[in-house]
Amino acid sequence: MATRVRGAVALGIAGAVLLASGCTPGGDGGEGPAPTEDSGALAEFTSQEFAWGACEEGGSDVECAVYEVPMDYGDLGGERIEIAVKRLPASGNDRLGSLLINPGGPGGSGYDRVDVAAYGVSEDVRERFDVVGFDPRGVGRSSPLTCFDAEEIDDFLGVEVADGASDDIADAAELVESSQEFVEACEDNAPDLMRHMGTADVARDMDVLRALVGDERLTYLGSSYGTHIGAQYADQFPERVRALVLDGAVDPAQSPLDMGVEQATGFETALRAFVADCLNRADCPLGGPGTSVDEGVAALDDFLEGAAERPLANSADDREVNRARAELGVLAALYTESWWPSVREALTAAMEDGDGTGLVLLGDDLYGRTDTEEYENSTAALIAVNCSDSPSPRDVGEYAEAAEEAGEESPVFGPMLAWGSLPCAYWPEDAVAEGGELTAAGADPIMVVGTTRDSATPYAWSEALAEQLESGFLVTRDGDGHTGYRMGDACVDAMVDDYLIDLAVPEDGMACA
């Protein structure tokens, strides 16, 4: 899943800044090392039996179940939460085990991802593995975290700094207030769950799942934020790693604001690729023959500035299409080339006719707003995980400084990417892990896949994670869009498949054109 962005602000990798988390306990579940299956401390959880049955959605070829995990791994006898699981059984007779998957977020549904396994996982892999997806704790069907209601989320995502994308603290007063209100709502509605949403606990939940599906070692495919789950797993349970593919990686060693600034570079690269493609088409609203990419980007920035002053029309509902909501729609283009035509069409309607309906609906797709005007809980999960995984500054001035730096890298989107982590300034300190590098010392080889012009997770992050992991090796896709596997590159697909099935390890740094 791509990162999401909160109005004029990015909130973590599918919409924002995918903040990194560390392997040490903090707000992630008690003191001391994680209980292990072998120690017997988790026997009550790892000995559960799945009652696989028909799913409410997804077709007749999938099965669904739930299992329980402790909310707090430091208190195994305390409150439990349920994790929802979906399985597509292997299509062949020579089954190797289960392939656990996660599409990213934070807040993305691995449960739903199974329904599109035919697109996300090759036929060869599906023949040999059950494809198993789960909603991480606090997400979707797994004891979901709820902070704001739908109307409050509408307002929250529509907040922007006063002049659209400012590095001035004075312009961010409404953003500060909305960030504080969000955290207060989490405290009111789910004070315990919000303190146990970190990726270290998600990795522990995944190890319970590995035991329940009967695999001695884990085979895993994680994309975007899902790479963080995989890296956390390997760091905590290196001896249980069979094969991990970490596609479109995040760098867990960076601080949240550093990641925001660096992510601005990725979005700027992707934006320029989108604009260059647009300018070569007759229906491009950003310019005509002879228009340079710089001029096209400037035209987009002028349009967004105009939306901040004069909101666009919206025939879908009564939400004001200000710069914040217009930005969400444009950002949809930066996750995958397949969305470029839709964003181009929406921009044409907005820039030529003043109709922002298409842009606001594209933003809804990013944030899981449904036709019934409800939201998936991905926004709450996104913020909670990001804020739990790594320390963030408590001084608003540091966000303003980061916004200025990010604006130098990406004038259009940079400031809002930096401001996007502001709710973390108010997150309970007892819920925050220490952060840091993940080395997974002693694990078998781990594949990291990086795409050179990835918008949401810059290629440098994949390079960094492959370097940090003691057994990491990098596979490079030269291309646009977010993530590399099953994105049209037969070379990358073949290397991933050979690794998952046969544990074949290509030369480190192997690139695919």
Average pLDDT over residues 244-257: 88
Residue 512: pLDDT band with limits 50, 70, 90: confident
Q: Are 367 and 328 in contact (CB under 8 A)?
A: yes
Query: Is 454 designated active site?
Result: yes
Q: Is a pLDDT exceeding 60 seen at residue 28?
A: no
| Entry pTM | 0.86
pLDDT at 123: 97
Q: What is the mean pLDDT of the chain?
A: 87
pLDDT greater at residue 9 or residue 165: 165
Find the helix or strand (DSSP H, E) in which 212 lies: helix 199-212
Average pLDDT over residues 180-191: 96
DSSP code, position 369: B
Catalytic-role residue among 109, 179, 224, 390: 224
Find the helix or strand (DSSP H, E) in which 113 lies: helix 110-113
Average pLDDT over residues 267-295: 92
Distances (CA, A) of 182 to 148, 280, 321, 450: 7, 43, 22, 34
pLDDT at 33: 46
Cα separation, 113 vs 88, whole angstroms: 11
Catalytic-role residue among 251, 389, 454, 480: 454
Residue 163: pLDDT band with limits 50, 70, 90: low
Residue 297: pLDDT band with limits 50, 70, 90: very high
Closest CA to 459 of 483, 435, 485: 483
Distances (CA, A) of 443 to 73, 322, 447: 23, 49, 12
Percent of the chain whose predicted confidence (pLDDT) is above 70: 90
Phi, psi of 145, rounded to the nearest 5 degrees: -80, 130
Q: Are 182 and 147 in contact (CB under 8 A)?
A: yes
Average pLDDT over residues 383-392: 92
Q: Is a pLDDT exceeding 70 seen at residue 422?
A: yes
Average pLDDT over residues 131-136: 97
Closest CA to 84 of 123, 60, 51: 51
Domains of the chain as residue ranges with CATH:
1-20+147-189+258-438 (no CATH), 21-144+194-235+243-249+439-512 (3.40.50.1820)
The single residue listed with the structure tokens 């209100």 is 181
Catalytic-role residue among 482, 489, 493, 497: 482
Cα separation, 263 vs 1, whole angstroms: 15
Cα separation, 220 vs 40, whole angstroms: 24
Q: Is a pLDDT exceeding 80 seen at residue 16?
A: no
DSSP code, position 35: P
The residues near 339 (Cβ < 8 Å, ≥ 6 apart) are 332, 333, 362
pLDDT at 25: 30
pLDDT at 511: 78
Q: Are 437 and 254 in contact (CB under 8 A)?
A: no
Q: What is the DSSP string of 261-310?
A: HHHHHHHHHHHHHHHHHHHTSTT-TT--TT--HHHHHHHHHHHHHHHHHS
Closest CA to 479 of 445, 455, 502: 455
What sections of 322-451 are H helices per DSSP?
323-331, 340-353, 357-367, 378-389, 396-409, 414-419
pLDDT at 418: 85
Closest CA to 391 of 202, 250, 256: 256
Cis peptide before 106 (omega within 30 of 0): yes
Q: Are 176 and 403 in contact (CB under 8 A)?
A: no
Phi, psi of 76, rounded to the nearest 5 degrees: -65, -20
Query: Is 493 designated active site?
Result: no
Strands 63-70 and 80-88, bridge-based pairing: antiparallel
Closest CA to 17 of 225, 268, 236: 225
Q: Is a pLDDT exceeding 70 seen at residue 9?
A: no
The residues near 338 (Cβ < 8 Å, ≥ 6 apart) are 481
Cα separation, 221 vs 247, whole angstroms: 8
Percent of the chain whose predicted confidence (pLDDT) is above 90: 63
Residue 209: pLDDT band with limits 50, 70, 90: very high
Cα separation, 228 vs 222, whole angstroms: 8
Closest CA to 309 of 296, 295, 321: 321
Query: Is 228 designated active site?
Result: no
